[in-house]
Amino acid sequence: MLEIRNLQKTYRGGVHALRGVSLRVDRGLFGLLGPNGAGKSTLMKVVATLLEPDAGDVHFDGIDVLAEKTRVRRLLGYLPQDFGLYPSLSAEQMLDYLACAKGVGDRRTRRNLVAATLERVNLSAVKKRRLGGYSGGMRQRFGIAQALLGDPRLLIVDEPTAGLDPEERHRFQNLLAELASDIVIVLSTHIVSDVTALCHAMAIIREGGIVHQGTPAEAVAELRGQVWEKTVPRDLLEAYQSRLQVISTAPSVEGLRVRVLSDGVHPGEVLPAGEDFEPAEPTLEDVYFRYIKAPAPPEEAPDVAQGVA
């Protein structure tokens, strides 16, 4: 289990990257959703022992992550948003080098470990190809391969499917789902469909603070009966936004498909008669936009957000 309590981090210039973030993540896949700049990567770097917070603590299976970095790194796999490769090396050579750096000294043991890891991420057929010739999806699979060396008990992946085509995204999602049965995986992303497809538990982070946590199913259920939609001319969008809680818009042949959040009860939120809004089935994307567009979070988030495996 991963426990994060009251993490705070402020960068030079007064940017509050983390505002009292607290989470508890059990075994399985946990999704951390948020827009770019919300604090996701900062949080991932702290958990991965690469960045010191200003305050707070992190524990994994009883180990103090901030005080026992070397010990934690033996249990940790990390795929950052941007990771470096030696383009002139093959996947096999690069993994062998990384396995050696992780302390796997015996050559035969390393060779078997590298072969098994490449097989696991479906790269065996191209193991001798130079990494500089890999596609985006192949690079991401190699990234997860290097993170898996040593059978980590905690795997952190930061924006792993950004830029992948649909086929590669599905392949990557299947790989993460297979891994999640045995270890703790924290998936940091701004792609809502990744969390919908993979995660049993989630949190939404905005401006350095946790603004929502729970399960995707529970979050969607809370909005049932409150989401409405209608296609409107583009030039009328501003008028609708001025008097209704528009949570998202999508282009259509006839204009814009507007989705509105309203319980139809509170004054000022009642949908005007005759406007022909239709009830819509809520999605996790509606949940995401609801909290991202809500008023700014307080300085400190609730003490502990429960993760469900």
Question: Can you give the pLDDT at residue 290?
Answer: 92
* More confident position, 10 or 177: 10
How would residue 295 be classed by pLDDT, with cut points 50, 70 and 90? low
Average pLDDT, the chain: 87
Q: Is the pLDDT of residue 302 over 50?
A: no
Question: Can you give the pLDDT at residue 27?
Answer: 92
Name the pTM for this structure.
0.84
Cβ-Cβ contacts under 8 Å for 180 (sequence gap 6 or more): 27, 28, 29, 198
How would residue 275 be classed by pLDDT, with cut points 50, 70 and 90? low
Q: Is the pLDDT of residue 308 over 80?
A: no
Q: Is the pLDDT of residue 166 over 90?
A: no
Q: Is the pLDDT of residue 273 over 70?
A: no
Question: Can you give the pLDDT at residue 306?
Answer: 41
**In this predicted model, what pLDDT tens digit does every residue of 35-50 receive, in sequence order?**
988 999 999 999 999 9
How would residue 296 be classed by pLDDT, with cut points 50, 70 and 90? low
Q: Is the pLDDT of residue 179 over 50?
A: yes
Question: Can you give the pLDDT at residue 307?
Answer: 44
Q: Is the pLDDT of residue 267 over 50?
A: no
Which of 37-41, 135-139, 146-150, 271-275: highest mean pLDDT?
Answer: 37-41
Q: Is the pLDDT of residue 8 over 90?
A: yes
Mean pLDDT score, 268-288: 76
H or E, element range at 29: strand 28-33
